[in-house]
Structure 1
């Protein structure tokens, strides 16, 4: 009998740790939702539900998602932070590792989660679509004995911002000649677990593991709980030495796991604040709630603290008390030493420039990312012996070919006064140097390899997959190319990605060619009418010349005519507005005695002139002058 019990125990132990396969059927549908309690709009749900479900698996498990697009537009899914070792085709960014999933099509994501545990998330990688709700949290649980800290209960939390218009509408106004400064769209609200004014009920004397994900696409946020601290134990899937802090600063796409110890007394409830980093906003609307109040509730019978208001003195006091920890100084729990000197150094100078169509674009070294006609992964697979030639992947994809096990440094100089969180697919990286904010926009701080303060690298650098560069400053990232694949590196402010702020790594191309791409993926490309053979321009043939022929490729907009600058362009727009105001003044005060019929005739003539010269605002340029007359 004892032997049987031992056998049963062993079998049960083996079953409990053996990998499992989790099968999901995700049907994308529109769902009407009022996320912030002030405006109802359609969001992208899964199986007619929004917010989206949290995916929870264990290390070494397999995930299969049958992803059916029932929307009226294309879609995709990226599993942020997962390495996709040996399964690069499952990474998700459209025109990088896959074709977009066309309406009515089903795409199979099938991969194992190996060597990773921690807090991750999944989201659309088609334009700025995840602003419409196609985003959710993915937890990879470790075995109990592998956790290096104790907790009694786990809580999952997301933060982000919310727009009342759909992302396609917001994007069209953002990427417009009527937005010559490239000012990012201002959200209407921030969200806390996809809603607002949340109450979190806790029990006294317990330790909570709080997994936090910034699922927004623009603003960083501050988080704090009054009279409580956070102890950071994980950053982007990497366990770190415990670090107690009074508040968190979390950029978009970053994740933290923190321990929160509840008090023994239940005599009081506390505010749990999430605060938009208002320095990232070009304009601060009066009705925008920069600070949002939620509550950590010990006792429902005790009065809740009142919400903090933007102009409240207590709000200013709260901000003054917050001193978020600089993540550069987080130490990985395993104390992974600094990688050896780089075999390859890639220096990226980032700028924002107005191009010939009057729209502001982002570029690295003067090149703004434009998607190829053939997804880059398929160019690798179909180009055979020419896959090692960087030219195959186009002149506007910012592609760098690196080889197996090379150590790579990314030096990024931010020549822009904004904050930018950058994410690398397929890897984590060591953050080995980062400058403070540059105070002179005309003279940003650039990395200098001969400056000892720039090259005083830490012995055990912070490791994560998303890191923010300071305004007019730089960072240096180091990683080992030990995961063959086509990997995107881009700003995770999705408005900036839409402006072209991205590069592509083709890592160990001949090893990539050994990976399997399932037939379903090729079928999906047919549905999307996208080729799976050829270089970035869709050209191919029997000769090297055929594969290096980029005639017909997608390229960035031509530059402004000589002599134009961003400031000059803005000045021109302002002068035009002044001129229009002058015409209006002449009409207003010089034609007061003209009867209404004559007035309408004059406006119709002005309408025809403006429309012919392309000078109308988009809302009026629809062929119907009645709208202009009414205005």
Structure 2
């Protein structure tokens, strides 16, 4: 199956198929190239994987090993020329932390005309819905992002659905007509976070006054149950998902199998993923899949019209036309049954361990400037990556620059992170790399749940306060940052560096990894 993206010349959303057997090695090649496309009808040069937006779907089975070769073939120096790849949500064990892909934390970026191969064993029987994107600055704003799915041949929830394949992935994201580098200059000068032009659904969108690009179509057969894997690949926008006249039963949250919960609307922050089961049990027709979004004032960008972010659910036998129903933002208030994050429960209950260490993180923006602080520190990427410093003998927080905002933690402990309630009206999706966390207090409730909280790797931090707990039994220097990448670039990030002695004992990088930093450091600024 190929997903069409509306472009000046059609660009294809292609598929990389998995090996059928568990325990296999899954080779993937991503050529990072500049390609001209027009996801919403506005033509521009993008940064892409294999020339598509979103990039090709990567799939594997539980227990496989991903071997992802990234070839940097970028040529347009109006955008970032180096690159780095992060595989959002995948667990990464300590010994392999140098392949985790976080720029200036676990590795240096990949220089132009260079290649690097990320070898990622899928550990701890992890399965679920993930994605990959550039982790260098705000480069993925220019298009370098794609879906990644790890299937479970023994899925305990398999009896709830009939279809789960490359055709049941819904990737939503914000899209921008200007390059990330030009918008970053404006952001730094003004302190006003850029506002997207469009919201896209599987690479297709519309903007005010723009061409009527055909909406993406999901085809279904009456009487069939579909597992749709929804991924918010945004750099900022919050998407609210619903399907006219249909319920959605949540069965996965950021890779965690979830006790089924039926709702009709789901709000998704940047970086979050859900699997939902939709039963095609309505009369044969066309129905709107609603994906309105928020992310800054539309007055800042008159192209923005969140109502135009949508797709079509088309039953077999229905005419190939748009739905006749009005373009709504979702269910009417009287019919609304929205997902409340605090109500999510894992399929297998597990109590959150009592904390050994407590950390409080206060998030503050500097008024009128593109600067965010965590505990009065605005993160700046170091010239020498965190992992390099650890391997060279760093032992305490004083061995890192203050602006690295690195918390040094012992191995095999439970860390509780408290985000106090804030006055900011924008929920910050905080994301932990290489691991996940127990969400013991969601931003959607005042209740602290330590008995059976959901485990996920992206959770909102905002007005109601949030508490998470994570284990350091997988030592490493793990990024913990806001997934609104404009805020991340402006300093809203920390590094949770656990088990430094264990890292030195277990991590033995390759020569290819050793070569990344010298090659990057030797580049002139326009090639970095």
Place the TM-score, normalised by the shorter chain, in its bin.
0.7 to 0.9
Decide which of 465, 489, 492 is 1:498's aligned counterpart.
489
Shift of 1:317: 6.9
2:40 alignment counterpart = 36
Contact 1:331 1:462 in 2 (8 A): yes
1:69 alignment counterpart = 72
Decide which of 131, 152, 161 is 1:121's aligned counterpart.
131
Shift of 1:484: 1.1
Decide which of 437, 451, 454 is 1:462's aligned counterpart.
454
State the alpha-carbon separation in 1 of the partners of residues 30 and 183 from structure 2: 26
1:478-499, Cα deviation, whole Å (9 max, x unpaired): 1111111110000000000011
Q: Aligned with 1:101: secondary structure?
A: coil
Query: Closer, same or farther in 2 for the Cα pair 1:43/1:16, shift >3 Å?
Result: closer
Contact 2:50 2:56 in 1 (8 A): no
Q: Aligned with 2:137: secondary structure?
A: coil
Unaligned regions of 5+ residues in structure 1, if any?
A: 1-14, 438-452, 532-631
- Asked if 1:412 corresponds to 2:419, the answer is yes
Shift of 1:465: 0.4
1:363 alignment counterpart = 373
Q: How does 1:76-91 map to 2 (within 5 A)?
A: 76-85=84-93, 86-91=95-100
Contact 1:105 1:524 in 2 (8 A): no
1:507 alignment counterpart = 498
Contact 1:349 1:415 in 2 (8 A): no
Query: Closer, same or farther in 2 for the Cα pair 1:305/1:146, shift >3 Å?
Result: closer
Query: Closer, same or farther in 2 for the Cα pair 1:195/1:282, shift >3 Å?
Result: closer
Decide which of 22, 26, 32 is 2:30's aligned counterpart.
26
- Asked if 1:56 corresponds to 2:64, the answer is no
1:272 alignment counterpart = 289
Q: Aligned with 1:396: secondary structure?
A: helix
- Asked if 1:183 corresponds to 2:183, the answer is no
1:295 alignment counterpart = 312
Shift of 1:59: 1.1
Larger Rg belongs to: 1
Query: Closer, same or farther in 2 for the Cα pair 1:307/1:495, shift >3 Å?
Result: farther
- Asked if 1:136 corresponds to 2:146, the answer is yes
Decide which of 171, 174, 179 is 1:158's aligned counterpart.
171
Contact 1:293 1:307 in 2 (8 A): no
More strand by share: 2
Unaligned regions of 5+ residues in structure 2, if any?
A: 1-18, 76-80, 206-214, 524-528
2:404 alignment counterpart = 397
Shift of 1:28: 1.1
Query: Closer, same or farther in 2 for the Cα pair 1:209/1:317, shift >3 Å?
Result: closer
Decide which of 81, 88, 101 is 1:92's aligned counterpart.
101
Q: Aligned with 1:144: secondary structure?
A: coil
Contact 1:373 1:530 in 2 (8 A): no
Query: Cα RMSD over matched residues?
Result: 2.2
2:119 alignment counterpart = 110
Contact 2:111 2:519 in 1 (8 A): yes
More helix by share: 1
Decide which of 280, 294, 300 is 1:262's aligned counterpart.
280
Relative contact order (alpha carbons < 8 A, sep ≥ 6): 1 or 2 greater?
2
- Asked if 1:333 corresponds to 2:347, the answer is yes
Shift of 1:107: 1.3
1:198 alignment counterpart = 216
2:518 alignment counterpart = 526
Contact 2:134 2:145 in 1 (8 A): yes
2:182 alignment counterpart = 169
Shift of 1:150: 3.0
Query: Closer, same or farther in 2 for the Cα pair 1:500/1:403, shift >3 Å?
Result: same
1:244-278, Cα deviation, whole Å (9 max, x unpaired): 00111111100000000002632x32111111136
State the alpha-carbon separation in 2 of the partners of residues 201 and 40 from structure 1: 28
1:588 alignment counterpart = none
State the alpha-carbon separation in 1 of the partners of residues 241 and 497 from structure 2: 37
